[in-house]
A and B are shown apart, each in its own frame.
Chain A
């Protein structure tokens, strides 16, 4: 296991810039998740670390060694592909032992290591089978097995769970988490699913259009997103954005005057108020007024979509037994300590002075 240092790398395909000045330090044993919408460059970054893409400039340093002129096969990284990339003509055992065979390890050693890995992943009864005879989850495990037997310096995951159905995905997520806690492997994990990122990561890297928007722990990103993009990307249903205007010491949002306890002094005129659905409460004293548009029963709670007076739609998470109907007039309140304020032009977050935070 080693530290991974990514130093201002760029990658361009002709005029298109896939990666722009990416820098990232990954500590030994850390689990870092790259997350972002499709086309944001997260997979390109991962493939650059593996050497499957050639970077245009910058450097990647793994365990103190620059990978600039190191071919993929000499990088000592392991990778789990979205399609699993299992060799269809090889059995489970041969797939798992492929890398060791390529490196000309002895047969007894390969057999022992493969058996151990297969046991760890619950595959020991399937070692003689071919990939086409396995279920999706089993294939996923074989791909994991192939990666772990190699004892690599870093472990790369390229959306490994996206081909599984929802239930299996949650199960495999848990297994990956258990596995990494057991093996303590330095890992980079790419996903477009922010929930997967939240559950797995020590630190999350949010990417957009070839750039890093924010790096932080899951809670950091959730509680203190640096801008509208991160705020909107993390959390489901997403954070509500309500455009508002500064009027003196007060704010005007959706036709209502709302004021935090302490408003920072130099606020721009155009602002965006960000409130997560779970922070909005149905409160007859609430400042925001609107009508109920849609009610979605979700089991543990009920999601209500409310059209505010200025036409903005917001999600509010309510108690599951709330009695509301389409068209009901409602008031919504919130606590300023749960609210976020963003610059309406740059989209950057404005720090509010909040007690205890």
Chain B
């Protein structure tokens, strides 16, 4: 088109790219360099080779944080997927008040991590929280998540699921809603039960959406920081730390930027590992379009 040429296009894309480079791109590269140096506040740096990596790999707490991250991410992602799938399928019919139900189901999306933590802390406050009382009374469970690391991790997962379920639900529900009615009707005519229709038709059609939701949730769940920090600060005795907290503590509590950067590299690596499959498919798609 006319007055418009590639320079115009480049100019129009540049603010976005500059912003991304300044805030994410360049820092992400600098982290690599920082992970090989020793510094406080990132200044007065000294090259130390692989020392930072040796240090974190020798640190039990790092491995504990890695394990915790691994457990929480998998629990969160798959429980969310299961719940979202159940809700999406249940939602997919006409009824009065559907809009209201949908609004309520996605309401947690609006809630900040801080407020969510306030809510759940209140419900599980040792001794006085309503769920604590109920758990104690009906199951005889003393749910003291501030002392019991396992229960701490469980509560972190619960809050995380509660906040992020709407994201998964929206993606899956849009997919479920686009499954052609004809397809399901055809399966019913062939004698399929509702359960069979779900397994053999609905699930097949929405498989790509499930994959996308899974991938995004994996990548975002790995970033876990706020809920965990606000609930337990990694305690007791750094037993409920996740990688995000480990990094934050190293950098901003102990001012050890080197090990923090090395932890950052580990997190980037894990994120890109999950993302690479998606990015590869996307890149092929874009090459075809261009």
The answer to A–B direct touch (Cβ < 8 A) is: yes
B59 at the interface (CB under 8 A from A): no
Please, how many angstroms separate the alpha-carbon atoms of A71 and B1 in the complex?
Answer: 11
Please, how many angstroms separate the alpha-carbon atoms of A178 and B2 in the complex?
Answer: 34
Report chain A residues within 8 Å CB of B1: 52
B182 at the interface (CB under 8 A from A): no
Please, how many angstroms separate the alpha-carbon atoms of A238 and B2 in the complex?
Answer: 39
Residues of chain B in range 1-23 having any CB-CB distance to chain A below 8 Å: 1-3
Interface of A is mostly: loop
Report chain A residues within 8 Å CB of B2: 51-52, 54, 71-72
Interface residues of A, count at CB 8 A: 6
Binary contact readout A52-88 vs B (1 if CB under 8 angstroms, 0 otherwise): 1010000000000000000111000000000000000
Report chain B residues within 8 Å CB of A72: 2-3
Distance between A135 CB and nearest chain B CB, rounded to angstroms = 31
Interface of B is mostly: loop
Distance between A43 CB and nearest chain B CB, rounded to angstroms = 15
Distance between A49 CB and nearest chain B CB, rounded to angstroms = 13
For B2, the closest partner residue in chain A by CB is: A72
For A72, the closest partner residue in chain B by CB is: B2
Distance between A73 CB and nearest chain B CB, rounded to angstroms = 8
Distance between A14 CB and nearest chain B CB, rounded to angstroms = 16
Distance between B157 CB and nearest chain A CB, rounded to angstroms = 48
Report chain A residues within 8 Å CB of B3: 71-73
Please, how many angstroms separate the alpha-carbon atoms of A13 and B2 in the complex?
Answer: 14
For B1, the closest partner residue in chain A by CB is: A52
Residues of chain B in range 194-225 having any CB-CB distance to chain A below 8 Å: none
For A52, the closest partner residue in chain B by CB is: B2
Distance between A185 CB and nearest chain B CB, rounded to angstroms = 24
Distance between A218 CB and nearest chain B CB, rounded to angstroms = 34
Report chain B residues within 8 Å CB of A71: 2-3
Distance between B203 CB and nearest chain A CB, rounded to angstroms = 40
Please, how many angstroms separate the alpha-carbon atoms of A72 and B3 in the complex?
Answer: 8
Distance between B5 CB and nearest chain A CB, rounded to angstroms = 9
Report chain B residues within 8 Å CB of A54: 2
Please, how many angstroms separate the alpha-carbon atoms of A51 and B59 in the complex?
Answer: 68
Please, how many angstroms separate the alpha-carbon atoms of A83 and B3 in the complex?
Answer: 23
Please, how many angstroms separate the alpha-carbon atoms of A72 and B1 in the complex?
Answer: 10
Distance between A117 CB and nearest chain B CB, rounded to angstroms = 27
Please, how many angstroms separate the alpha-carbon atoms of A102 and B2 in the complex?
Answer: 18
Residues of chain B in range 161-179 having any CB-CB distance to chain A below 8 Å: none
Distance between A51 CB and nearest chain B CB, rounded to angstroms = 6
For B3, the closest partner residue in chain A by CB is: A71
Please, how many angstroms separate the alpha-carbon atoms of A72 and B2 in the complex?
Answer: 7
Distance between B82 CB and nearest chain A CB, rounded to angstroms = 44
Please, how many angstroms separate the alpha-carbon atoms of A71 and B8 in the complex?
Answer: 15
Distance between B1 CB and nearest chain A CB, rounded to angstroms = 7
Residues of chain B in range 95-137 having any CB-CB distance to chain A below 8 Å: none
For B5, the closest partner residue in chain A by CB is: A54
Report chain B residues within 8 Å CB of A52: 1-2
Please, how many angstroms separate the alpha-carbon atoms of A200 and B275 in the complex?
Answer: 62
For A50, the closest partner residue in chain B by CB is: B2
Please, how many angstroms separate the alpha-carbon atoms of A6 and B226 in the complex?
Answer: 68
For A71, the closest partner residue in chain B by CB is: B3
Please, how many angstroms separate the alpha-carbon atoms of A73 and B3 in the complex?
Answer: 10
Please, how many angstroms separate the alpha-carbon atoms of A52 and B3 in the complex?
Answer: 9
Distance between B290 CB and nearest chain A CB, rounded to angstroms = 16
Distance between B218 CB and nearest chain A CB, rounded to angstroms = 41
Report chain B residues within 8 Å CB of A51: 2
Distance between B4 CB and nearest chain A CB, rounded to angstroms = 10
What are 9 A-B residue pairs whose CB atoms fall within 8 Å in the complex?
Answer: A51-B2, A52-B1, A52-B2, A54-B2, A71-B2, A71-B3, A72-B2, A72-B3, A73-B3
Can you add 6 more A-B contacts, CB < 8 Å, to A52-B2, A71-B3, A72-B3?
A51-B2, A52-B1, A54-B2, A71-B2, A72-B2, A73-B3
Closest 9 CB pairs of A and B: A71-B3, A72-B2, A51-B2, A52-B2, A71-B2, A54-B2, A72-B3, A52-B1, A73-B3
